[in-house]
Amino acid sequence: MSQKVIITPEAFEYMEKVTGTDGVEVRVNLPKEIIEQINEICDSFDNDPGELINVLHEAQNRFGYLPAEVQDMVAHNLHIPVAQVYGVVTFYSYFSMIPKGEHPISICVGTACYVRGAERVLEEFIKELGIKVGETTPDGRFSINCLRCVGACGLAPVVLVGDKVYGRVSPDGVKQIIAEYSS
Amino acid sequence: MIELTIDKKKVRVEKGTTILKAARQAGIEIPTLCHYELCDMGIENKPGGCRICVVEVEGRRNLAPSCITEAQDGMVIHTHSIRVLNARKTVLRLIISDHPFDCLVCAKSGHCDLQDLAVQFGIRSQPYVGEQSRYRKDTSPSIIRDVDKCIMCRRCEMICNEVQSVGALAAVNRGFMSVVAPAFEMNLEDSPCTYCGQCVSVCPTGALTEKDHTIEIIRALSNPSKTVVVQTAPAVRAALGEEFGMPAGTLVTGKMVSALRELGFDYVFDTDFSADLTIMEEGTELLQRVRGYLEGDSNVRLPILTSCCPGWVNFFEHNYPDLLDVPSTAKSPQQMFGAIAKSYFAEKIGVKRNDMIVVSVMPCLAKKYECQRDEFKVGGNPDVDYSISTRELASFIKQANIDFLELPDGEFDDPLGESTGAAVIFGNTGGVIEAACRTAYELYTGKKLEKVDFHELRGMDGIRSATIDFNGLELNIGIAHGLRNARKLLDEVREGKSKFHAIEVMACPGGCVGGAGQPFNHGDSGVLGKRAAALYAADQEMPIRKSHENPSIIKLYEEFLGEPGSELAHKLLHTEYFAKSNEVTIHLQG
């Protein structure tokens, strides 16, 4: 399991010349240690353009999301246009350019959860947190995402907060779940 | 070989041939929309996305998209059964359902592949009505993106990536929301786009068009206090006739001059004049650099690269900021013309700089960007005010109700209208370096060139090379057209492995004859060769075929500039290059 690194807004204050895996210097708006991490990820896939999706998966695992600067660096190392990287990032709903909240909330809207009222649970989260699906609260604490089936259909409807699973969630229980993380 | 039956005709084709191509071999044309082929480059755009080219294959449940379905031995195919025709109509209506209905005022009206298909299929009603995808319009100095009109054929993406290796455009987002856009959906202006405009020349609809300047020119022409001067690039005269139904490769120099005069331009001049001037400056620089190099001057870097092509200049400014001292510092002929017109010529006729409007007619869209670059302005006043394409000129002539075909042959005005055969071949790939060789040879050796034609520098191969014997000095010349080919030669230069002393690069395949401002060729790249042949023929017919023998050029140096590379020449005719950063400036959200 790779080490988790969070890119903070402050990280983008840096603007330095760094070296990509091909030895060519580029200017990227990221601190050196993040660049090194991206180089390491790209190297682990031999900087092969065919591994773009895997590289992006790994980068999102480490950084939590894929900001423009990370995509730029990946494009540079894989020798492909950054427009192409952005095309892949925007095609797959798994990839995100918005940092997830400290406590990412995932609501299952797979068939079983859906028929047991997942939609109303989702609406309640949206109402309580004041953000849409795919967004993060301004304080960075919560984000809402939908997913399809976590393999716990017996507990439908299911909600995940981080790695913790909540089963048989009703709209009335939403407030209480949020409160658990709001101290 | 395999054998199949298409519309009751037996066809024998190579294994691996698509149904579309097999049908073509049998003389059966299947309509296409997203499909696009650049025959001479072996590049084919076939995402199989539009489904206009579907055909019925006996024994197969679904209709087959013929552009991506391989022909099989024994196949029985029907290309225009009722089922096929109905399917094509439905597909077309579905495409149109997410397309604006402003055909009458669309910039592409009359040249639109989608419109042509709607006519061909007799589409008279639109039963599918619903939400249409909406996107902002993106206007750059050269190209306008209006992706509401995009049908996701991805031809532009193919040409930008495969042919040009620019990589400015890619398909982004998904489903109904998908568009072709630069990275992070930034504006074209902020992307690595070079404005070569090849995307515009392959776009089947009005999603990508040039920025039209006709109206500004009409305003200037109707302002009595302005002296309006026009210059026409070499490649325009070899293609303009196509817009009036003349066969490709018809040279219409005389009619074009008459048309411009009828339109009201005060002076009709020729960019060929400044092409000769470019050779004087660039040829001198070439010789200086080669001499310095041979004498072991460590400050001299070879090869020297031509710098006439603004798309190419943008490309190396974006991608090779470490090599900015390699290209010639000579301005392009368009800009040299503007600088001379608004100094030497304006003085001659007693017109103030600000009262002169210089218009250029170019086969090119990058020229629109080039003429508004800050370094080509004096006190905010540009050397060249407006650049219009061959297509815009044709449209302008039609708007003015001029019967182009009946026009008599006119002559360019003096003095900026006199030119040589060396200048007219600037429009072809290899033409600039051939013109440079003609002059550099005579200047270097002091001998008369026996054979003016350098056939070894001509042709349509993407990368060509030749060694020219300068009376004992062997110069290795490289030529590339199409930016992917240029990239290969530039990478060699960066690695220090280039064997060339001089390299000519043109951004567009074929050189300016294939420029993005030329009449649309709808995938028939054969017209490029015909236009090129017309320019070589024009060169043959010129009484003077070497730039340094142009009497008006000789006079310009005597009266005004002094000698090539003089201080004044440097001020007016040379430029510098700037690194364009591709760094991403979008910041963290939230």
> What was the ipTM of the complex prediction?
0.89
Same domain, A33 and A69: yes
Contact B589 A98 (CB under 8 A): yes
CATH 3.40.50.1780 residue ranges in chain B?
215-573
CATH number of B2-80: 3.10.20.740
The CATH class that applies to domain B215-573 reads: alpha beta
Contact B583 A29 (CB under 8 A): yes
Residue A97 lies in a domain: no
To the nearest whole angstrom, how far is the Cα of A129 from the nearest Cα of chain B?
16
Which chain B residue lies closest to A24 (C-alpha atoms)? Answer: B322
For residue A99, give the nearest of B185, B583, B590 by CB distance: B590
Same domain, A47 and A87: yes
Which band of pLDDT confidence, cut at 50, 70 and 90, is reported for residue A35?
Answer: confident
Q: Which amino acid is at B479?
A: I
To the nearest whole angstrom, how far is the Cα of A54 from the nearest Cα of chain B?
18
What is the three-class DSSP state of B457? helix
Same domain, A71 and A136: no
Residue A31 lies in a domain: yes
- The residues of B carrying an active-site annotation are 282, 285, 308, 328, 367, 370, 375, 512
What is the three-class DSSP state of B71? coil
How far is the first Cα of chain B from the last one, in angstroms, to the nearest whole number? 62
Q: Which of A70, A91, A112 is a domain's end point?
A: A91
Give the burial string for B258-275 (b: 16+ CB within 10 Å, else e). bbbbbbebbbbbbbbbbb
To the nearest whole angstrom, how far is the Cα of B528 from the nearest Cα of chain A?
29
CATH number of the domain residue A87 falls in: 1.10.10
CATH number of the domain residue A155 falls in: 3.40.30.10
Best mutation target among A63, A90, A91, A96 (most B Cβ atoms within 10 Å) is: A90
The CA distance from B139 to B165, in Å, is 22
Residue B74 tokens, joined: 């024994």
Give the CA count within 13 Å in the CB-facing half-sphere of B281: 33
Which chain B residue lies closest to A28 (C-alpha atoms)? Answer: B583
The CA distance from B539 to B235, in Å, is 12
Which of these, A113, A44, A45, A39, lies nearest to A76 by C-alpha position?
A39
Contact B588 A9 (CB under 8 A): yes
Helix (H) or strand (E) holding B479: strand B473-481
Q: Which of A47, A69, A91 is a domain's end point?
A: A91
Which chain A residue lies closest to B180 (C-alpha atoms)? Answer: A87
CATH 3.30.70.20 residue ranges in chain B?
97-210
Best mutation target among A14, A66, A84 (most B Cβ atoms within 10 Å) is: A84
A27: chain B residues, CB-CB within 8 Å: 581, 583
To the nearest whole angstrom, how far is the Cα of A82 from the nearest Cα of chain B?
6
The CA distance from B186 to B168, in Å, is 10
Compute the count of residue pairs across chains A and B with CB atoms less than 8 Å apart. 80
CATH 3.10.20.740 residue ranges in chain B?
2-80
Helix (H) or strand (E) holding B263: helix B253-263
B187-207 pLDDT, tens digit per residue, is 999 999 999 999 999 999 999
For residue B584, give the nearest of A69, A91, A138 by CB distance: A69
CATH number of B97-210: 3.30.70.20
Residues 144-183 of A with CB under 8 A from B: none
Same domain, A73 and A109: no
Same domain, A87 and A109: no
Which chain A residue lies closest to B581 (C-alpha atoms)? Answer: A27
What is the three-class DSSP state of A69? helix
Residue A78 lies in a domain: yes
Residue A3 lies in a domain: no
Domain that holds residue A139: 103-180
Question: How is residue A40 annotated by DSSP?
Answer: H
For residue B588, give the nearest of A67, A85, A93 by CB distance: A67
Residue A1 lies in a domain: no
Beta-sheet strands, E only, within A81-127? 103-108
Contact A27 B182 (CB under 8 A): no
Q: Check if A9 contacts B (Cβ < 8 Å).
A: yes
Residues sharing a CB contact under 8 Å with residue B69, sequence separation 6 or more, in sequence order: B18, B19, B57
CB atoms within 10 A of CB A71: 26
Same domain, A120 and A79: no
Contact B478, B500 (CB under 8 A): yes
Same domain, A84 and A125: no
B385-409 pLDDT, tens digit per residue, is 999 999 999 999 999 999 999 999 9
Residue A2 lies in a domain: no
Contact B170 A68 (CB under 8 A): no
Q: How many domains does chain A divide into?
A: 2
Contact B183 A67 (CB under 8 A): no
Contact A68 B182 (CB under 8 A): no
Q: Which of A51, A71, A91 is a domain's end point?
A: A91
The CA distance from B383 to B358, in Å, is 7
What is the three-class DSSP state of B448? coil
How many residues are there in chain B?
590
Q: Check if A91 contacts B (Cβ < 8 Å).
A: yes
To the nearest whole angstrom, how far is the Cα of B285 from the nearest Cα of chain A?
30
Tens digit of pLDDT per residue, chain B (590 long)? 999 999 999 999 999 999 999 999 999 999 999 999 887 777 888 888 899 999 999 999 999 999 999 999 999 999 999 999 999 999 999 999 999 999 999 999 999 999 999 999 999 998 999 999 999 999 999 999 999 999 999 999 999 999 999 999 999 998 889 999 999 999 999 999 999 999 999 999 999 999 999 999 999 999 999 999 999 999 999 999 999 999 999 999 999 999 999 999 999 999 999 999 999 999 999 999 999 988 888 888 889 999 999 999 999 999 998 899 999 999 999 999 999 999 999 999 999 999 999 999 999 999 999 999 999 999 999 999 999 999 999 999 999 999 999 999 999 999 999 999 999 999 999 999 999 999 999 999 999 998 999 999 999 999 999 999 988 889 999 999 999 999 999 999 998 999 999 999 999 999 999 999 999 988 888 899 999 999 999 999 999 999 999 999 999 999 999 999 999 999 999 999 998 865 544 333 33
